[in-house]
Amino acid sequence: MPTSSANSDGPLRPAASGISGGGGVRMRRGSAARTDTHLLALQRASTRRRRRDTAAGRGHGGARWLPLLYLLPAAVIYGMFMLYPLGRSVQLSMYDWDGLSLATFVGFENYLDVLRDERLRAAFGHALVLVFFFAILPVCLGLVISAVLTRSKVRGISAFRTLVFLPQVIAMVVVAVAWRQIYAPDGTINTLLKAIGLGDLARAWLGDYTFALPAVGLVGTWISTGLVTVLLMAGMSRIPREQFEAARLDGAGPVREFFSVIVPAVRAEVTVALTLTIIASLKTFDLVYVMTSGGPGSSTTVPSYEVFRRAFERGEVGSAAAVGVTLTLLIFLINLVVNWIGERER
């Protein structure tokens, strides 16, 4: 019985154990092989699917261009009303034409005339002076005004925004007529100067060779400051309060807080404001036409006014087109530099 027991218990357990263990190994190996085969089949199917999709994409290339069809209407309108007139202006600038008779091709002669003509060089110089009054000065004033209004508790801030933005919605001709009356010899400015005992400073502001251009420029400052202030206030309202609290904990005063927290936070808004105001200053025509007509002499003439004068008063359409194209390139280059500096500083 002991031998039988040993034969029945001892040898049987190892045998059973060995059989089950070997079978488990074989089962695991078989399962792994089947898994690898399944994964390989999936990879091959995925590869075949990608190849079919690629072939279908090549066969139906129009599907790739489908998003561009949605842009086509806007592109056509832009080409008709922007690119075509610009190209036509470039073409006209190559001709000597009075607008009525046959044109004569002169190449780049009109552009060389822009460089040689002293009046035209002075006009572009005056435009750069107006950039200071229309863009640089309003941005500086707008930063200060916006910072004060944003950081202080001021009632009626919405009404102030409306009033300060009002010059942007008034027709420029109306603005020019109103300010021409203010600058008149018997206008508001001279009346105030005489009232406070400074009558010796009174003058015909728009008829003075020295003060006529700054007088026009200050009107541009009045117009642009409202737009710049509203843009900067919108940017400053998004600055987290935690930044101001951290600056105060570091011992920063109002001036340091302005230059270290506020100015860096509104660089994007400053770039947009400069872009808009620089364009407005360089293409100013109606303000100059109504207030001074380029005078006295040519002390307030600007490129846009020269385009009008040459095309419609002197009958030099080709020369006027050359001035217009040159002005367009100048606006593009200045704003390209402004936006490049703005992007680099972020």
CATH number at residue 186: 1.10.3720.10
Tokens of 102: 């046959």
Looking at the structure of the chain, the number of domains it has is 2
Q: Is residue 100, in this structure, part of any structural domain at all?
A: no
Task: Report the pLDDT averaged over residues 172-195.
Answer: 94
Listed residue (27, 109, 115, 299) closest to 291, CA to CA? 299
Residue with tokens 């060389």: 112
If asked whether residues 245 and 324 sit together in one domain, one would say yes
DSSP state of 207: G
Q: How far is CA 30 from CA 21, 44, 46, in A?
A: 14, 21, 24
pLDDT band at 11 (very low <50, low <70, confident <90, very high): very low
Q: Is residue 31, in this structure, part of any structural domain at all?
A: yes
pLDDT band at 342 (very low <50, low <70, confident <90, very high): confident
Helix (H) or strand (E) holding 330: helix 317-345
Q: Is residue 16, in this structure, part of any structural domain at all?
A: yes
198 φ, ψ (degrees, to nearest 5):
-115, 40
Q: Is residue 340, in this structure, part of any structural domain at all?
A: yes
Looking at 20, 40, 55, which one is the last position of a domain? Answer: 55
Q: Is residue 239, in this structure, part of any structural domain at all?
A: yes
Tokens of 9: 């218990």
Query: How far is 239 from 252, CA to CA, in rounded Å?
Result: 16
Helix (H) or strand (E) holding 208: none
Handedness of CA 63, 65, 71, 72 (dihedral sign): negative
If asked whether residues 34 and 173 sit together in one domain, one would say no
Residue with tokens 């916006």: 146
If asked whether residues 142 and 217 sit together in one domain, one would say yes
pLDDT tens digit sequence for 237-271:
899 989 988 988 888 888 899 999 999 999 999 99
If asked whether residues 123 and 23 sit together in one domain, one would say no
Q: Can you give the pLDDT at residue 100?
A: 87
Q: Is residue 338, in this structure, part of any structural domain at all?
A: yes
If asked whether residues 33 and 140 sit together in one domain, one would say no
Q: Is residue 48, in this structure, part of any structural domain at all?
A: yes
pLDDT tens digit sequence for 197-225:
999 999 999 999 999 999 999 999 999 99
Residue 34: which domain range?
A: 11-55
If asked whether residues 112 and 199 sit together in one domain, one would say yes
Q: Is residue 218, in this structure, part of any structural domain at all?
A: yes
If asked whether residues 131 and 239 sit together in one domain, one would say yes
Q: How far is CA 145 from the centre of its chain?
A: 22
If asked whether residues 124 and 243 sit together in one domain, one would say yes
pLDDT tens digit sequence for 113-166:
999 999 999 999 999 999 999 999 999 999 999 998 888 766 777 777 788 888
If asked whether residues 280 and 140 sit together in one domain, one would say yes
Q: Is 196 exposed, middle or buried (0-12, 13-18, 19+ CB in 10 A)?
A: exposed
If asked whether residues 165 and 246 sit together in one domain, one would say yes
| Beta carbons within 10 angstroms of residue 254's beta carbon | 12
If asked whether residues 339 and 217 sit together in one domain, one would say yes
If asked whether residues 251 and 118 sit together in one domain, one would say yes
The secondary structure of 18-87, three-state, reads HHHHHHHHHHHHHHHHHHHHHHHHHHHHHHHHHHHHHHHHHHCHHHCCHHHHHHHHHHHHHHHHHHHHHH
